Chain A
Amino acid sequence: MPENTPNPESPAPVEPEEIRVGVYTCHCGGNISHVVQCERVAKMVGKLANVAVSRTDPSFCSDAGQAIIEQDIKELGINRVVIGACAPSLHEQTFRGAVTRAGLNPYLYHHVGLREQDSWVHASDEEGATEKAMRLMAAGVAKARLLDPLDPIRLGAEKQALVIGGGVAGLRAALDIARQGIRVTLVEKSPFLGGRMAQLESIFPTDEKPRQLLHDLIQAVTAQVGITIFTQAEVTGVSGYVGNFSIQVTQHARGVSPEMAEALTAACTQETPDPFNYSLTRRKVIYQPYPGCYPAAPAVDWQHYDGQPIQVNGKSIVLQDDALVHELIAGAIVLATGFDPYEPRQGEYGYGELSQVITLPQLIRHMALVKNGETLTWNGHPVRSAAIIHCVGSRELDGVHEPQADGQVNNYCSRVCCTASLHTALEMRQRFPRLNIYELYQDIRAYGRGHEEIYRHTQNAAVRFVRYHGDDGPKVIAAPKGDPYPVLVQVKDYLTYGEEIEIPVDLVVLAVGMMPRQVDDLVNMLKISRGADRFLLEAHPKLRPVEMAVRGIILAGTAQGPMNIQESLAAASAAAAKAASLLSLGKVELPPFVARVDPAKCNGNGACVTACLEEGAIALQTFVENGVEVQRAVVTPANCTGCGACVGACPNRAIDVQAWTLAQYDAMVDAIAMDWPELVEVEK
């Protein structure tokens, strides 16, 4: 018999308890009380049937405020609690904790959002807002009378985590989770670990070598017990829920066996622009991005390999991508999918039109490729003068900057580009002393520890600063024939009081911002949210800064927003702490707000199954009733998200979402729609 067998016999009648509702109208530190007359609301609600006590407080969420509620439950026999306060997303859990501590079932409490639904949106209408508060609170009481005690759904949690992304944040998160005794699978899309950090040459403010730091971190990760690494792998399927996600990972073949690697690499002639050097160079389609990479063995770039045979020792070998599919279980998923540098559009500051216009990441790779010498060259010409333009693809303004393909502009600050530009300028100054360097900026945002020193050193290193306004940015044009320099940068400089200046340069460097790595598939599979800036969105910047709204999905690093390496590491460790908190006990609790079928009303028509948006949440099963086989809908609570699609589809009103039943909605609507004279009567 299935677990959710409907019980055809009605449960034994229970002595109905006297409903005693405690109602608490919170001032929310003025957020509500500056608009809503809370005392009037409390007085009116206090007169409703079953209400045993009605109070106000500056902040019920404080320890002292919670103590009042707990005391009422214990001393006044309150058995239903209604709190009118901020949005439930903020403090429903807080109050559920208080109610539980007082010995009451935590689901005998209803939260009314008086702040978001009332005082904040009706700030200019005190009387109207107060009346609305009365109606909302009356509806809350009406619902509370019908609340039943519920138990959370308790599930075993797999002490395993999945980390998506093998850059510095993913590596750190994997290491720190595994150090807590939780097994980790690390999935990296490319054939090599290290991510964007490997493409840097020096990290501010310590001037450390990024590939050395990565090497140390990867060593720690590979030496750590409990970490499995899949490279060239992508998550191609996810189902389940916190504590128990089922994950499908598709892993491409490395393509070359260790014993054949050297010969095949040597024999391979097909080349493609090298993304490690931002297409400044070309590499073979069998490749290692850099010496010392991990894993060390070369891999095939399947995206670019043309399928033609490679001739080795007289044999003709066609490389085969025999992809593997792995099935995994994880209790939590850490997203460390990282960023991509903003790709300027064709013609933006001359990019793509003038060969002398490159991006800062390209310059960093170019300088790494240039052998030490006195002169920096570009396209074979010596660079005598270079201009770095800040805020390209960052701090863009609607109506000023051309929107991207999705109609949006990047109006956020990418936070790392200022110090990265200054740091690069300093390196240029050291290596190429005769070079003229210009920094064209809006505001220098050298905010971090040690960053301001870099700014000061740059100022003292004969780097010239030009300050432009965001709505009147620099223009990059080809110089007229015969000019000594190939490119002119025209800009209004506010350090010289708005003077129009023209800077002749050999090279223009665009300090491009950060864009989130495109993860549409993951967003759809995991049903997670992105912010207006398109980065993955945390549940709350202060209460749950590295967790997503979907439980068990955790953020690490630049998938969430621009960060430097130090910040990515801190965020990754924070993500590890959250994963450990979630999984270390080996069990998770899910809220009981799931569908429940009343078998007495269900006639097995299956409309709910058709309407259901989740896999395996509701299904028809065969039961024998009075000797006749019948079909009845049965819910699998762990798969149900409580969306209510089945409730709406059922023609028999046979399904309810627990704690949000149709009867409770009816009661709330009746209370909200109470006639005004009736409300006034109650208020008197």
Chain B
Amino acid sequence: MSLDNLHVDALVVGGGIAGMQSALDLGDQGFQVALVECEPSIGGKMITLSKVFPTLDCCSCITTPKMSAVAHHPNIKLFTYCDVQSVQEADGGYRVNLVQKPRYVDASKCTGCRECEYACPITVPSPFDRGLGAYRTIRVPFSTAVPQVAVLDMDYCILCGKCEKVCAAKAVDFNQQPEPFEIQASTLVVASGFELTPLGAKKEYGGGKLRNVIDPLMMERFLAPTGPYGRVLRPGDGKEPTSIAYVQCAGSRDTTLGIEYCSRVCCMYAIKQAMLISGALPLAEITIYYMDIRTFGKGYEQFYQNAQAMGVEFIRGKVASIREDDDQNPVVKVELTEEGRTIERTHDLVVLSLGMVPVPGSNTALNLPLGSDKFIAIPAPNASPCATAHPGIFVTGAAMGPMDIVDSIVTASSAAAAASAYIREHKKEAVYA
């Protein structure tokens, strides 16, 4: 494909599972697609997960081939580590200004051999492992990253030059600057994803302060085979937990947080993690404190019933607060709403089942109208479920509200169908011979 003039049929913003699927569906139909990702690798949140419900497929088994398919697709051009700066309507389509952030590594030369990483003396907490693990200041982001190109974090680099010396490809370039560039696209597909409700959002739960109160993505890293420790242990003292609790709706359905909506995925991920922990720590007792269990998807109710049969304890109750005892054990104060009394229970580890919020800043350049939930508004959900208020801009995945992977993939294909119809009708091609 010729991208010299950077003219494409569709530009997909976001290289998580939704963006990848939209790009693949458009590319498979013969459209030229640019996929823009702000991180150094595509894969999004999904690539950091352990296993996925309700099939308990290992997550990399589903994600990495999609990443690979995107990377090798003849009709898809990948732009990683790029930010969208602005979007303007132009020539019946959109002119998108982007900036390639400096990797300090020449992507065209880097072979992904990781010699720089082995030579680098500076270790920093790895966001891929939610800060639980560490990586080097220069590194390939993670083992299955696409592209396999190193990136250097200038905030931590001491400019010792060791990486430059060991790089056989002479790819390290400390003088790289941000490079602005432009892409013209007939249509945009926004797949900017989600963030978790901040861990400390609900003060009463002590998230961010109590060391053994963690977020669910941390637990995913504990459970993932590629995780930092290869096992489940509590971050406070490295002890293997024998009593683990999940606090549901810890960032959803809570008007005090301004997050009134249900985040849809928390019930299922808590149940899934409980099952995986039961496998990893057969003696551990797992309790899920909930208001309503919302296992509404295909095969989800059976999944919930299986967890009950496995001995996961479900307690209907609203957690009021969490404090810490002298041994760093979180003590959960919970109102048992089926019994009308309040109890305190001590656990080794508490996972706050945080909800989904939009990625801060993800709409700055696009400036699309938002719903009352701050996710991108869909003006006619029962007619065009992926169309934003701007003609020619479509949205998919968690950027349009909380949703799980299955729903993200379906809406991604749906957005691709809407975008491709728009492209064809826009080009006013005679589609029938």
Interface positions of A (Cβ within 8 A of B): 27-31, 34, 58-59, 61-67, 86, 90-91, 94, 97, 101, 176, 179-181, 183, 203, 206, 208, 210, 213, 216-217, 225-226, 395, 397, 411-413, 415, 443-453, 456, 467, 494-495, 497-498, 531-533, 535, 540-543, 545-546, 560-562, 565-567, 569-574, 576-578, 580-581, 584-585
Give the number of A-B contacts (CB < 8 Å): 235
Say yes or no: is B258 at the interface (Cβ < 8 Å to chain A).
no
Q: Which partner residue on chain A sits nearest B52 by CB separation?
A: A542
Say yes or no: is B369 at the interface (Cβ < 8 Å to chain A).
no
Candidates A411, A443, A570, A578; contact of B385 at CB < 8 Å: A570
List the A side residues contacting B407 at CB < 8 Å: 567, 570
Complex interface bits, B123-163 against A, C-beta within 8 A gives 1, otherwise 0? 00000000000000000000111111000000000000000
Least CB distance, A58 to chain B, in whole angstroms? 7
Q: Which partner residue on chain A sits nearest B383 by CB separation?
A: A213
Least CB distance, B199 to chain A, in whole angstroms? 22
CB-based contact B421/A179 at 8 Å: yes
List the B side residues contacting A411 at CB < 8 Å: 301-302, 305
CB-based contact B417/A446 at 8 Å: no
List the B side residues contacting A540 at CB < 8 Å: 55
Say yes or no: is B296 at the interface (Cβ < 8 Å to chain A).
yes
Ordered by A's residue number, 14 sampled pairs between the chains whose C-beta atoms are within 8 Å are A30-B225, A90-B61, A180-B417, A226-B432, A495-B337, A497-B340, A541-B55, A542-B409, A561-B298, A566-B385, A567-B410, A569-B384, A574-B417, A584-B29
When chains A and B are docked, how far (Å) is the Cα of A206 from the Cα of B29?
A: 33
When chains A and B are docked, how far (Å) is the Cα of A90 from the Cα of B329?
A: 42
Binds A, one of B2-10, B62-70, B234-242: B62-70
CB-based contact B61/A91 at 8 Å: yes
When chains A and B are docked, how far (Å) is the Cα of A213 from the Cα of B382?
A: 8
List the B side residues contacting A30 at CB < 8 Å: 58, 225
Closest 10 CB pairs of A and B: A30-B225, A181-B431, A574-B413, A573-B414, A443-B292, A62-B144, A179-B421, A62-B64, A581-B28, A415-B296
Least CB distance, B431 to chain A, in whole angstroms? 3
> Other than the known A545-B413, A569-B414, A570-B411, what 20 A-B pairs have Cβ atoms closer than 8 Å?
A59-B60, A64-B148, A65-B144, A90-B57, A180-B420, A411-B302, A413-B295, A447-B262, A450-B261, A456-B260, A494-B337, A494-B338, A498-B339, A560-B298, A573-B413, A573-B418, A574-B413, A577-B29, A577-B413, A578-B413
When chains A and B are docked, how far (Å) is the Cα of A129 from the Cα of B229?
A: 25
When chains A and B are docked, how far (Å) is the Cα of A34 from the Cα of B263?
A: 33
List the A side residues contacting B210 at CB < 8 Å: none
CB-based contact B298/A31 at 8 Å: no
When chains A and B are docked, how far (Å) is the Cα of A445 from the Cα of B54?
A: 18
Given the known inter-chain contacts A97-B72, A456-B260, please indicate yes or no for A576 contacting B417, CB distance below 8 A. Answer: yes
Complex interface bits, B216-257 against A, C-beta within 8 A gives 1, otherwise 0? 000000001110000000000000000000000000010000
List the A side residues contacting B429 at CB < 8 Å: 181
Q: Which residues of B (287-312) have their CB < 8 Å from a CB of A?
A: 292-302, 305
CB-based contact B381/A59 at 8 Å: no
When chains A and B are docked, how far (Å) is the Cα of A647 from the Cα of B297?
A: 42
Least CB distance, B48 to chain A, in whole angstroms? 12
CB-based contact A28/B385 at 8 Å: no
Candidates A180, A206, A446, A545; contact of B421 at CB < 8 Å: A180
Least CB distance, B191 to chain A, in whole angstroms? 14
When chains A and B are docked, how far (Å) is the Cα of A203 from the Cα of B386?
A: 17
CB-based contact A206/B382 at 8 Å: yes
Interface positions of B (Cβ within 8 A of A): 25, 28-30, 52, 54-55, 57-62, 64-65, 67-69, 71-72, 112, 143-148, 224-226, 253, 260-262, 264, 292-302, 305, 316, 337-340, 371, 373, 375, 378, 381-386, 400-401, 405-407, 409-418, 420-421, 424-425, 429, 431-432
List the A side residues contacting B112 at CB < 8 Å: 64
CB-based contact A449/B67 at 8 Å: no
CB-based contact B405/A542 at 8 Å: yes
Candidates B64, B294, B305, B414; contact of A445 at CB < 8 Å: B294
CB-based contact B294/A447 at 8 Å: yes
CB-based contact A445/B292 at 8 Å: yes
When chains A and B are docked, how far (Å) is the Cα of A358 from the Cα of B149?
A: 63
Least CB distance, B411 to chain A, in whole angstroms? 5
Least CB distance, B384 to chain A, in whole angstroms? 8
Q: Which partner residue on chain B sits nearest A451 by CB separation?
A: B262
Candidates A497, A565, A577, A584; contact of B30 at CB < 8 Å: A584
CB-based contact A545/B72 at 8 Å: no
CB-based contact B316/A543 at 8 Å: no
Candidates A456, A566, A576; contact of B382 at CB < 8 Å: A566
CB-based contact A449/B373 at 8 Å: yes
When chains A and B are docked, how far (Å) is the Cα of A521 from the Cα of B262?
A: 40
List the B side residues contacting A31 at CB < 8 Å: 58, 61, 225
When chains A and B are docked, how far (Å) is the Cα of A567 from the Cα of B403?
A: 12
List the A side residues contacting B371 at CB < 8 Å: 449
CB-based contact A452/B61 at 8 Å: no
When chains A and B are docked, how far (Å) is the Cα of A546 from the Cα of B71?
A: 23
Interface centre among A62, A451, A560, A561 (most CB of B within 10 A): A62
CB-based contact B61/A180 at 8 Å: no
CB-based contact B298/A412 at 8 Å: yes
CB-based contact B25/A61 at 8 Å: no
CB-based contact A570/B386 at 8 Å: yes
CB-based contact A225/B432 at 8 Å: yes
When chains A and B are docked, how far (Å) is the Cα of A560 from the Cα of B410?
A: 13
Least CB distance, B377 to chain A, in whole angstroms? 10
Least CB distance, B426 to chain A, in whole angstroms? 11
List the A side residues contacting B382 at CB < 8 Å: 203, 206, 208, 210, 213, 565-566, 569
List the A side residues contacting B373 at CB < 8 Å: 449
Least CB distance, B232 to chain A, in whole angstroms? 13
List the A side residues contacting B57 at CB < 8 Å: 90, 542
List the A side residues contacting B264 at CB < 8 Å: 447-448
Q: Which partner residue on chain A sits nearest B316 by CB separation?
A: A494
Candidates A63, A210, A562; contact of B64 at CB < 8 Å: A63
When chains A and B are docked, how far (Å) is the Cα of A34 from the Cα of B231?
A: 12
List the B side residues contacting A574 at CB < 8 Å: 410-414, 417
Given the known inter-chain contacts A570-B386, A573-B385, A577-B29, please indicate yes or no for A61 contacting B61, CB distance below 8 A. Answer: yes
Candidates B55, B301, B337; contact of A412 at CB < 8 Å: B301
List the A side residues contacting B292 at CB < 8 Å: 443-445
CB-based contact A541/B54 at 8 Å: yes
Least CB distance, A117 to chain B, in whole angstroms? 16
CB-based contact A176/B301 at 8 Å: no
Q: Which partner residue on chain B sits nearest A179 by CB separation?
A: B421
When chains A and B are docked, how far (Å) is the Cα of A64 from the Cα of B111?
A: 11
When chains A and B are docked, how far (Å) is the Cα of A34 from the Cα of B224?
A: 12
Given the known inter-chain contacts A30-B58, A413-B301, please indicate yes or no for A545 contacting B262, CB distance below 8 A. Answer: no
When chains A and B are docked, how far (Å) is the Cα of A406 from the Cα of B62?
A: 35
Least CB distance, A509 to chain B, in whole angstroms? 20
CB-based contact B401/A449 at 8 Å: yes
Least CB distance, B165 to chain A, in whole angstroms? 24
CB-based contact A535/B298 at 8 Å: yes
Least CB distance, B323 to chain A, in whole angstroms? 26
When chains A and B are docked, how far (Å) is the Cα of A397 from the Cα of B262?
A: 26
CB-based contact B260/A453 at 8 Å: yes
Interface centre among B224, B264, B410 (most CB of A within 10 A): B410
Interface centre among A91, A443, A572 (most CB of B within 10 A): A443
List the B side residues contacting A456 at CB < 8 Å: 260
Least CB distance, B246 to chain A, in whole angstroms? 16
List the B side residues contacting A445 at CB < 8 Å: 292, 294, 296
When chains A and B are docked, how far (Å) is the Cα of A648 from the Cα of B397?
A: 49
When chains A and B are docked, how far (Å) is the Cα of A577 from the Cα of B424?
A: 13
CB-based contact A412/B302 at 8 Å: yes
When chains A and B are docked, how far (Å) is the Cα of A451 from the Cα of B409?
A: 22
Least CB distance, A579 to chain B, in whole angstroms? 9
List the B side residues contacting A565 at CB < 8 Å: 382
When chains A and B are docked, how far (Å) is the Cα of A498 from the Cα of B410?
A: 41
CB-based contact A577/B225 at 8 Å: no
CB-based contact B337/A580 at 8 Å: no
Given the known inter-chain contacts A452-B262, A571-B410, please indicate yes or no for A58 contacting B29, CB distance below 8 A. Answer: no
